[in-house]
Structure 1
């Protein structure tokens, strides 16, 4: 794809004018690029085209503000534009950067290969560990009223609590709805879907079966062919298998602060900075399993009397004065 075609497609993409074939062509080209070298293959004109298209989209998205807010909004627009321009000029804009601006609610895919576990952190902070030959379909950014994903295969879900937005998982013909909990879903080629709840409760149902609630340490097996649901109880071995190879288990018993920080950084993909290294002298006994990053850090704050600051993927810890 040369820079003229790139500019043409990107301009039409931001206006929502592309047909499905053109969308697949543009996104396929962006997919083929590695994040850190995403736009290094473009010449100056193509880089300028991408920047102009994004600026145009940002401008269109900002509604005409009231008279008293016009200066603030204008400065905000300039700040956003300047930030994008700086990223473009340093050659580090990637596919996600563009699409997060022009299509924040686009459908996104995560895949996993047999024998591996792939972690996906969703826009609401929910964590999904994909297992086996699996595929997760989800929006880059959830809507304001619900959070819906589609699973093919098997995954362990740790869903962030949000009473205003139910989390819905579609797996084959079975639907699982939760507000915030953790559970494992597994489907097979025989048309069976198994759901095992580790914490909380979920509501499951299909067009062929009535809805029912599955509680902590309970499992059901749904058969599409028989249109039936069988209740079972997972064993300790089953539960160990569900969480094996993931960072789900966050129970600590007299654990050094150093090891706790390492596990938190790995699970939530954040960087924790200590403003006072004396914090590392502490040990912690607590169960932070199935807790969001914010709640996890709050537990540490209360246990060690620390001030916590979370800024996107950066977390700062310091002793309270």
Structure 2
């Protein structure tokens, strides 16, 4: 789609009257819009891109993850780099392959020294993964008796000696199995696989989105501050401005800010020292 056609499409969407939308409508409209505005071959993410909608879904789709049964014992060596979070806040770690890990307090990861070709990582506690795609080098997460092999997606892994293991899928598709068990479980985004200490497994649903239906922008500001730690400031004349948006609970903050910027034709400045985002 060329720039003129893109402008025409954005103008049509912008001028539509806000209304209640079904989840399916939101998802379909966003996927169509994202494929035009954010082509997959674009290498660099710029803060200023096309984006406008009365109802938008902030969601990036992954390609899939697979939980393997009985990984070879001779091919699971992980000894290398250890990162432990001894603080009371979530700690963000960027791995050598540019994958991102959000490590919860009192949690630890250990990953292979030759990580570029041996993408193996062991988890104690809880961690959220945003995995860099690399079909030649699968990304494997070990947690107790489970192994999750990833091509590129986002998910959380939580394991402890009391409650067992939980894998919550935010993007992609999943086939799961457990050591010494023949049964397989197929997950879709929004489902959690739980393997308990009593050696039983179950699948339950969870809400992976936060919906804002005709809410004031100040409500979105409060959400960003609570979940990302940044104070958001809008011009005074936007105090009563309303927004309808669906946000993936694990979405990158820069994506959310960029979309709001384009929806309301606002510029913004990020002050990292003050943890503040000011729209203008």
TM-score of the superposed pair, with normalisation by structure 1: 0.44
Higher strand share: 2
Q: Highest relative contact order (Cα 8 Å, sep 6+), 1 or 2? A: 2
Could you say which structure has the larger radius of gyration?
1
More helix by share: 1
Structure 2 length-normalised TM: 0.49
